[in-house]
Amino acid sequence: MTGTGTHRPPAEFAARLRSRERLVGYWIACDNPVGTERIAGLGYDYVGVDGQHGVLHQPGWQSAMLAVDSRGRSAGVIRVPAPDPIAIGTALDTGARGVIVPMVSTAREALDAARACRHWPAGTRSIAGPVRAELRLGGVPAEIDDQIACIVMVETAGALENLDAICATPGLDAVYVGPADLSLALGATHFGDPGVTEDLEAALKKVTAAAERAGIACGIHCLDGASAARRLTEGFTFATVSSDITHLQEIAAGHLAAASVRTAA
């Protein structure tokens, strides 16, 4: 499920992201490696694992990456809990091909995140040694760095204010909009608040324009595939679809409704 409709190896994910290809991903919030394995075989360009708001804490990151890699179709990406170099390094040591770093509001925070994704002299990441990252990405630090994508989130008022400086950060590969938190930063009382719809759309245009000026990728989280398709026509270069836990509930509720109607008839 790529911009060209053809399957590309997960090892090419960072290069494709940097070249601003149209990519579609899926979101994992459940600590369910069997379910993650099923999703990873469907053909999404990447599978994002939520280490911030989901129930996947650090031990689950490794299991999720093993599940994604077992299918050989999608690149595994981890959203870390915070813009913390230790958390970033830990996520990358699982063999993840990228990290999504939340709550980044300044260019300094973006630079710290980018440097945490690179080994010396380009950054501050510690060499993992003969464990999973080297098994998956090779043993030469510079070659490993080239295969890793650093993505920071735009979801705060500070990020909007410092957008151009963030996008110009050396070593940063992409920005990624968290529309729920960004809505709150714009004054919404809840995600979907119609009172900030126009402001949110204006902010999204600002983000895509800044990313394009800087020549970096720009992504957004979407509620469904149709929304992802629309955003990819509006300047975003990658989009993530919903989540496993959301779809689990939606499908189960739909089947319950269908069964109840037939029973009542």
Active site residues: 53
Contact 219, 174 (CB under 8 A): yes
Buried b / exposed e across 216-225, counting CB within 10 Å, b at 16+?
A: bbbbbbbeee
CA atoms within 13 A on the CB side of 116: 26
DSSP state letter for 182: H
Longest CA–CA separation in the chain, Å: 70
Nearest to 16 by CA among 209, 147, 110, 145: 147
Token pair for residue 66?
A: 């093993």
In order of 77, 190, 193, 206, 249, the CA distances from 155 in angstroms are: 19, 14, 16, 13, 26
- How far is it, in rounded angstroms, from Cα 256 to Cα 159? 42
Token pair for residue 253?
A: 């509720």
